[in-house]
């Protein structure tokens, strides 16, 4: 009888382990931590900038939430940090992005300093190259992929196929699973998931953005070009930040 009971227990453990390993997440909420190296924006050869750099923290950290349910995602600002270098605000720090992955369509609400834009267009097409490198993020084994976006920006992403929704932070999509980590080395910006909340996500949780000047991606780029025409060396950095 004891041997029989042991066999039953072992069988149950094996079945439970197999069930856990075959479990795929289809809905929930992911918290992302975004970090930008503020010091990288200063020129050490300029004495004024070198001194100014000494007065501010090296990194600015912000948080975002990504709700997802099958083929839909909703990205929005998350918890606030009291001392978060608000004087060093970046363009498009308060992005709200609703994406329908099956239709390859998105609606983005972006605040660029004093202006707000509502951008409705197709999702960005990214030609990812998947590698064999792996990394654990928020408890999930992720696989690395590399790409070039906006003609010259090198992007590293880590995705997991344990979360079947093929979304990610900001406008990063297109991999066979959820993107849990993004790094843009030359721009000194990263987004990494800190935790997954396995909570039910209803249709009412996907609040489609509706504020701002209605525009498409091409017109948005032209508007940024005009807005930052007099910003000198900072123009490129601000335009890139707005378009990510």
Task: Please report, for the chain, the start and end positions of each structural domain, with discontinuous segments joined by +.
Answer: 25-243
Is 90 exceeded by the pLDDT of residue 90? no
Distance CA 191, CA 171 (A): 12
Q: What is the pLDDT of residue 11?
A: 39
The 3-state DSSP class for residue 221 equals helix
Residue 95 scores a pLDDT above 70: yes
Which DSSP letter does residue 87 get?
G
pLDDT of 89 higher than 60 = yes
The per-residue pLDDT for 87 is: 56
What integer is the mean pLDDT of 174-199?
Answer: 96
Please determine, looking at this structure, whether the domain spanning 25-243 carries the CATH number 2.50.20: yes
5 has pLDDT over 50: no
Complete edge-to-edge strand list for the sheet that includes strand 105-112? 129-137, 140-149, 153-160, 178-184, 189-197, 27-37, 59-69, 72-77, 96-100, 105-112, 115-122, 213-215
Kindly give, in sequence order, each residue whose CB lies less than 8 Å from that of residue 133, ignoring residues fewer than 6 positions away.
Answer: 143, 144
pLDDT at 211 over 80: yes
DSSP β-ladder status, 189-197 and 178-184 = antiparallel
Which pLDDT belongs to residue 49?
A: 67
End-to-end C-alpha distance for the chain, whole angstroms: 64
What is the number of other CB atoms lying within 10 angstroms of the CB of residue 12? 10
Residue 155 has pLDDT above 70, yes or no: yes
**Phi/psi of residue 16, each to 5°?**
-65, -45
Residue 151 CA from chain centroid, whole number: 19
User: What's the mean pLDDT in 160-179?
Assistant: 97
Q: pLDDT, tens digit, for every residue of 26-53?
A: 999 999 999 998 877 777 667 676 777 7
146 CB burial (10 A radius; 0-12, 13-18, 19+): middle
């Amino acid at each position: 009888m004891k041997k029989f009971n042991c066999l039953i227990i072992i069988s149950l453990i094996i079945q439970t382990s197999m069930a856990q390993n075959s479990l795929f997440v289809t809905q929930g909420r992911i918290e992302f931590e975004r970090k930008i190296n503020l010091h990288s924006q200063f020129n050490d050869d300029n004495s004024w900038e070198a001194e100014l750099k000494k007065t501010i923290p090296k990194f600015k950290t912000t948080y975002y939430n990504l709700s997802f349910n099958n083929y839909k995602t909703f990205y929005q600002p998350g918890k606030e940090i009291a001392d978060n270098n608000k004087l060093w605000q970046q363009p498009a720090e308060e992005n709200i992005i609703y994406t329908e992955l099956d239709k390859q369509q998105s609606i983005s609400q972006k605040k660029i300093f004093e202006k707000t834009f509502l951008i409705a267009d197709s999702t960005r097409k990214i030609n990812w190259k998947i590698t064999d490198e792996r990394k654990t993020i928020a408890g999930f084994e992720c696989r690395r992929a590399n790409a070039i976006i906006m003609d010259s920006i090198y992007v590293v992403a880590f995705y997991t196929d344990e979360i079947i929704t093929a979304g990610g932070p900001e406008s990063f999509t297109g991999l066979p699973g959820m993107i849990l980590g993004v790094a843009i080395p030359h721009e000194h910006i990263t987004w990494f998931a800190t935790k997954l909340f396995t909570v039910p996500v209803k249709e009412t949780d996907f609040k489609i953005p509706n504020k701002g000047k209605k525009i498409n991606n091409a017109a948005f780029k032209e508007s940024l070009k005009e807005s930052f025409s007099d910003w000198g060396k900072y123009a490129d950095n601000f335009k890139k930040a707005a378009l990510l």
